[in-house]
Amino acid sequence: MPGWTRTCCAASPAAPHPAGPQVGFAGVGKPWKVERALQAAGCDLKDFAPFPDHAHYDETTLRRLARRAEDFGAGLVTTEKDWARLPASWRPRVAAWPVRAEFDDPAALDALLAKAGL
């Protein structure tokens, strides 16, 4: 976006992380931010699998993640965005962790969006 300045943000939990050990995964622009946010929230994160933004989670990939979680005696956790793209049959097996962006300067972001007509 032209004129974008780094008013940026940090990932912030919008709800507590799932209890117990977890294996996380995320297919977002910067999946390491999700990993860091889970760790910062105190999640017992045993492993984390980064995927490209808008990743498609097929059965093979999901089974591999489930086996990894089983190896650790852990659950699976991902972002709400990724959870929504899971096949319906996998959603009950994966915790959706809501994360929100917190901007360093919300007024600057509002001004930028207003300038863009948004």
- Model confidence at 93, pLDDT cuts 50, 70, 90, reads very high
**DSSP per position, 6-33:** ---EEEEESSPPPSSEEEEEE-SS-HHH
Residue 21 domain-assigned (yes or no): yes
Check residue 100 and give its pLDDT: 73
At residue 98 the predicted structure's pLDDT band, cuts being 50, 70 and 90, is confident
Residue 84 resides in a domain: yes
Domain coverage including residue 92: 15-110
Tally of structural domains, the chain? 1
The model's pTM: 0.77
In angstroms, the CA 81 to CA 87 distance is 13
- Whether 10 maps to a domain, the answer reads no
Task: Say if 3 falls within a structural domain.
Answer: no
**Chain mean pLDDT for the chain:** 87
Residue 47 lies in a domain: yes
Say if 2 falls within a structural domain: no
